[in-house]
Structure 1
């Protein structure tokens, strides 16, 4: 179905669900998925929080709408601010959810002292990581197969399409060796509820709280993954000394990390980030070539810098670093 037809169908569905007149049904910015968002108002609502709402077009063939509803309930049970879900139709792929506002953490950082919003974001992450993984019985684990699949996005879209290159047999082996490194690094860490995309654009500052969105891809995975996602954000970079301080302070307050040697913790953090950033580069390229969304291309240099920084830090990644510097020498991004 064409996008225009789906948006009209979504509007009609919202009107059908609502007992109030629906006003100003307006398209919002989209994310790195096939979801589309529309902000609307309810004419009869008195409170602002009850007036502003969001309609989500999430095609069922590509989006995890049932998982979104399930994780939303789980996060809410643990005191985490998430959008209330007022209505859903899984067959159509439509959702009606609360509007947490337009103030992403990434925007707030431009005008606010740094420590407060990040303190809130880290406190919220602690709540997520405190969820008992037994409550995630049917959730995927972030294991070798999962990691291999994610790194395949980088190889297909960033290397294959964006850099117009194909891996040789030797280079394919380098990638497989790196998958093993990532899998070992992940399984060595405490396993927690993992948002999988915990960064400044998925965190909303709402009445001095952090609201969390885009959580439908939650899995069970390594404790450092969401932490590095936030602190080495693809969309905003901080000095490494500041990142190290945040990491150290976070570990001091978590009983699962407090006795972990500093160099081991740093390696967990670094390798988790390297794997994530390679996957992100693949997604940025896929957005450009498959979905004609070029807005993420500007984030490639920052993310690429993270990749080169970490791959050049560890001797066991020397072959990978050499391979990556080959693409750096022929840089097209």
Structure 2
């Protein structure tokens, strides 16, 4: 369904100054779009570049994110169709995806009913807090392989899942991306760059806390996807990202005081993967 929204969302993003591929032709009846060739370099390709080069690129990407997040919801073009907004049901689906595809299928861990209920009570509170933050337009899959680099400038792709949600979710997708090893110093510097850019109404400490909450949520979704794509779809290379994704989740939940069960489960999954 969301692929039907691509052309209209591309036009909208271009109007607000966010670089996207040019649409050359569109045949909605056949579900075909002919678009600009952006080459082969994405942000992921710069994962081993010199720190200053990488920082410059990430800052440019965050400027695009800020443009999307700052767009007033009331000014959205009439008739622009988006996927349903983030809410309790979608957050719950992501948590269940993690438990089914990553914990149970990829890691071979069967939670007891009691363990599952206790975990759900813990992580449900995470979703409530994210849903309470001011909602904005979000890309939804804002990671390094969905940002092409053309002549040194970022161009966003795979934005057809755009919807309303917490902007912290996009920040988490980019800065805790399991595909790229950002140092803690780099991550903190880039988060502060966005904080200044966004003129957030939150204080810095609360802002960082919400970023960590969103990171835990996003990492659960990503880990579920790696398990699903690797095992259900036969794309085994996605399974190679499980260890790094679990390391990220261990790190994030270790910085949050309210998620001991999720932290323990992530460590348990990491140990199970290590033994495979």
Q: 1:264 aligns with which of 206, 213, 224?
A: 206
Question: What stretches of structure 2 of length at least 5 have no aligned partner?
Answer: none
Cα distance, 1:218 vs. partner?
Answer: 0.9
Cα distance, 1:180 vs. partner?
Answer: 2.1
1:209 maps onto 2:153 in alignment? yes
Q: RCO higher in 1 or 2 (8 Å CA, sep ≥ 6)? A: 2
Cα distance, 1:219 vs. partner?
Answer: 1.3
Question: What stretches of structure 1 of length at least 5 have no aligned partner?
Answer: 1-62
Q: Secondary structure at the match of 1:329?
A: helix
Hey, which of these two has a bigger chunk of strand by percent? Answer: 1
Question: TM-score, normalized by length of structure 2?
Answer: 0.90
1:324 maps onto 2:266 in alignment? yes
Q: 1:182 aligns with which of 123, 126, 138?
A: 126
Q: Distance in 2 between matches of 1:166 and 1:109?
A: 35
1:103-142 alignment, distance < 5 Å: 103-111=41-49, 113-134=53-74, 135=76, 139-142=83-86
Q: 2:245 aligns with which of 303, 306, 311?
A: 303
Cα distance, 1:137 vs. partner?
Answer: 7.4
Cα distance, 1:91 vs. partner?
Answer: 4.0
Q: Secondary structure at the match of 1:280?
A: helix
Q: Secondary structure at the match of 1:238?
A: coil
User: Kindly tell me: are residues 237 and 65 of structure 1, through their superposed partners in 2, closer, same or farther at Cα, counting changes over 3 Å?
Assistant: same
Q: Distance in 2 between matches of 1:328 and 1:303?
A: 9
Q: 2:15 aligns with which of 77, 100, 111?
A: 77
1:225 maps onto 2:169 in alignment? yes
User: Kindly tell me: are residues 106 and 137 of structure 1, through their superposed partners in 2, closer, same or farther at Cα, counting changes over 3 Å?
Assistant: closer
Cα distance, 1:93 vs. partner?
Answer: 2.7
Hey, which of these two has a bigger chunk of helix by percent? Answer: 2
Q: Alpha-carbon deviations, 1:259-301, whole Å to 9, x = none?
A: 4222211111011011111111111111111211112222221
Q: Distance in 2 between matches of 1:106 and 1:252?
A: 25
Question: TM-score, normalized by length of structure 1?
Answer: 0.75
Cα distance, 1:90 vs. partner?
Answer: 3.4
Q: Confirm or deny: 8 A CA contact 2:47 2:181 kept in the other structure.
A: no
Provide runs of 4+ in structure 1 moved above 6 Å. Answer: none
Q: Alpha-carbon deviations, 1:83-138, whole Å to 9, x = none?
A: 12223333433221111111101113434522211121111111111222231775
Which range is displaced more, 128-137 or 69-78?
Answer: 128-137
CA RMSD, 1 decimal: 2.0
Q: 1:289 aligns with which of 196, 213, 231?
A: 231
Question: Which is higher, the Rg of structure 1 or of structure 2?
Answer: 1
Cα distance, 1:307 vs. partner?
Answer: 0.5
Q: Distance in 1 between matches of 2:71 and 2:14?
A: 11
Q: Alpha-carbon deviations, 1:32-64, whole Å to 9, x = none?
A: xxxxxxxxxxxxxxxxxxxxxxxxxxxxxxx52
